């Protein structure tokens, strides 16, 4: 009775467990077959010729209906994983929670899933209701109920050029509305990552979130803490690499989902300097993705967490640590705190350390130090990071301009730049950043003159040693072959 009232109130005419889809012809849905991957068509055709049902499904259909070429194609079928595997030369069964098949065509991967059945009460769950494993297969209409949002629950048959719509997804696409299938509280409890997906799709597609879909999120957000860290990291990486990272972060905060995902990020965003830095970093990332340029996850996370590192860097120096060891200690603290929430891969963490460790080295503009830095494997990433710091007002733009000129100059031009006296003082790495930061940071940068001179002399004696420390850190990280799939 209550469910019927809610559906009536929301204007839903169809029951959520409908078994008869609306069938849309090519004229009605308008999908351009040229936007469909030939390999996805090949997979559906092979399965159909073997006597199975097969459809392109999910986000690919959603994008095709929006006249956007999908990046990935998923196929759903009534064939079992073993039957799928037998039909393709390069097919691999993966998955623990629900088995799927990866069919490879060169570099392109087509993900093929068997229609999922109604969620069984006997499926293993954790104490919070999250489904741990569910290999129940079923009919197509049951599979549609199991999908997360109405706009992702449509099936496209390239051969017949028809779209099967079980839950009014086409209407929601035209209304630019994101609506979860079923009772939102129950769906979020089954898989809390769906709350992050709501945010990503809303920001990416510029859709509004249905009121009933959005309402439980602030209350149920803590359930994300029960999801394995690696899975949360994968979803966060998709969110940040979506080309709409800034909009996603704003939506995360709006929905109350940001707490715990990037600890202390709120503190950064409440400080004008930190907010400007993060905003610039995300905007630059979005621009590069839209231009088809590569984006480094290490650079992105290094940017998001930099002001936490900067704050701890200043604190360690204020307590008497020398600048370079203080920076490494600060990096350790921040990365260790993140490991509990996000399973940062070792390769990404190594890249982040390299980018951070280069920052004080940019301050050294005498002798052979700049030439040695030019040989660093991640010079470009470190230099781009330096420019972000300059653009945000954290440090004087003169330093970034000097390095731009130095990198572009010939040998005589570089010697001339080395002979030029810097217009800004930058002893001790973080001192110049401290002068541009908060009162506490400035206090950390300033100190008794003798102590400052002592640090400078020690830095001079150990300059090559410090550089070696950064290099060795890079080397240890470089041995890791763990490189995630965004």
CA-to-CA dists, residue 438 to 84, 312, 432, 449, angstroms: 60, 13, 12, 21
Among candidate residues 17, 32, 63, 74, the one labeled active-site is 74
Among candidate residues 148, 172, 210, 354, the one labeled active-site is 148
Q: Which of 329, 345, 357 is nearest to 474 (CA)?
A: 357
The pair of structure tokens assigned to 72 is 């990935």
Instruction: Identify the DSSP state of 137.
Output: B
For the question of residue 266 being annotated catalytic, the response is: no
440 φ, ψ to 5°? -65, -40
Cα separation, 470 vs 38, whole angstroms: 47
Q: Which of 355, 310, 317, 314 is nearest to 334 (CA)?
A: 310
Is residue 204 within 8 A of residue 196, CB to CB? The reply is no
278-302 burial string, b = 16+ CB within 10 Å, else e?
Answer: bebbbebbbeebeeeeebbbbbbbb
The pair of structure tokens assigned to 293 is 């340029």
Biggest alpha carbon–alpha carbon distance for the chain: 84
Is residue 22 within 8 A of residue 172, CB to CB? The reply is no
Annotate 285-335 with DSSP letters as a single string.
HHHHHHTT----HHHHHHHHHHHHHHHHHHHHHHTT--HHHHHHHHHHHHH
Q: Where are the beta strands (DSSP E) in 68-153?
A: 73-77, 91-94, 100-105, 108-114
Is residue 431 within 8 A of residue 437, CB to CB? The reply is no
Among candidate residues 17, 32, 63, 72, the one labeled active-site is 72
Is residue 242 within 8 A of residue 282, CB to CB? The reply is no
Do the bridges between strand 177-178 and strand 208-209 make them parallel or antiparallel, or are there none, so unpaired? Answer: parallel
Helix/strand/coil (H, E, C) string of 204-240?
HHCCEECHHHHCCHHHHHHHHHHCCHHHHHHHHHHHH
Residue recorded with tokens 């290999």: 135
For the question of residue 333 being annotated catalytic, the response is: no
For the question of residue 405 being annotated catalytic, the response is: no
- Cβ atoms < 10 Å from Cβ of 414: 17
Is residue 26 within 8 A of residue 32, CB to CB? The reply is no
Residues tagged active-site: 72, 74, 148
């Amino acid at each position: 009775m209550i469910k019927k009232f809610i559906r009536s109130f929301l204007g839903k005419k169809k029951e959520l467990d409908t078994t008869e889809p609306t069938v849309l012809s090519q004229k009605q849905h308008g999908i351009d077959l040229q936007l469909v991957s030939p390999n996805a068509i090949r997979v559906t055709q092979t399965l159909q010729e073997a006597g199975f049902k097969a459809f392109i499904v999910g986000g690919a259909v959603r994008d095709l209906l929006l006249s956007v070429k999908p990046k990935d194609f998923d196929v759903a079928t009534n064939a079992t994983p073993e039957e799928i595997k037998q039909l393709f030369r390069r097919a691999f069964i993966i998955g623990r929670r629900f088995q799927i098949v990866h069919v490879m065509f060169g570099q392109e991967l087509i993900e093929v899933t068997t229609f999922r059945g109604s969620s069984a009460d006997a499926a293993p769950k954790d104490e919070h209701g999250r489904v741990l494993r569910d290999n129940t297969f079923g009919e197509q209409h049951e599979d549609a109920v199991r999908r997360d949002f109405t706009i992702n629950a449509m099936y496209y048959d390239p051969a017949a050029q028809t779209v099967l719509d079980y839950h009014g997804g086409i209407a929601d696409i035209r209304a630019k509305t994101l609506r979860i299938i079923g009772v939102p509280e129950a769906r979020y409890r089954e898989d809390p990552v769906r709350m992050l997906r709501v945010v990503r799709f809303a920001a990416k597609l510029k859709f509004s979130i249905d009121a009933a879909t959005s309402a439980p999120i602030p209350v149920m957000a803590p359930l994300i803490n029960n999801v394995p860290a690696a899975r949360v990291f994968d979803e966060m990486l998709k969110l940040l690499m979506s080309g709409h990272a800034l909009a996603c972060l704003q939506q995360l905060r709006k929905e109350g989902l940001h707490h715990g995902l990037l600890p202390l990020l709120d503190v950064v965003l409440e400080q004008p300097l930190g907010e400007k830095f993060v905003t610039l970093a995300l905007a630059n990332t979005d621009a590069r993705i839209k231009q088809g340029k590569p984006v480094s996850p290490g650079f992105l996370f290094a940017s998001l967490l930099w002001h936490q590192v900067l704050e701890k860097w200043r604190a360690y120096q204020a307590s008497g640590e020398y600048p370079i060891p203080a920076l490494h200690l600060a990096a350790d603290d921040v990365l260790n705190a993140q490991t509990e929430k996000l399973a940062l891969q070792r390769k990404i963490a190594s890249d982040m350390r390299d980018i951070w460790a280069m920052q004080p080295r940019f301050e050294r503009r005498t002798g052979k130090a700049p030439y040695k830095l030019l040989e660093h494997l991640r010079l470009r990433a470190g230099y781009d990071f330096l420019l972000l710091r300059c653009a945000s007002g954290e440090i004087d733009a003169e330093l970034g301009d000097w390095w731009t000129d130095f990198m572009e100059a010939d040998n005589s031009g570089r010697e001339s730049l080395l002979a030029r006296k810097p217009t800004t003082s930058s002893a001790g790495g973080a001192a110049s950043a401290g002068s541009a930061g908060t009162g506490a940071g400035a206090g950390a940068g300033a100190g008794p003159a003798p102590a400052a001179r002592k640090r400078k002399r020690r830095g001079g004696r150990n300059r090559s040693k410090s550089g070696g420390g950064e290099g060795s850190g890079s080397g240890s990280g470089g041995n890791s072959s763990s490189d995630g799939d965004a």
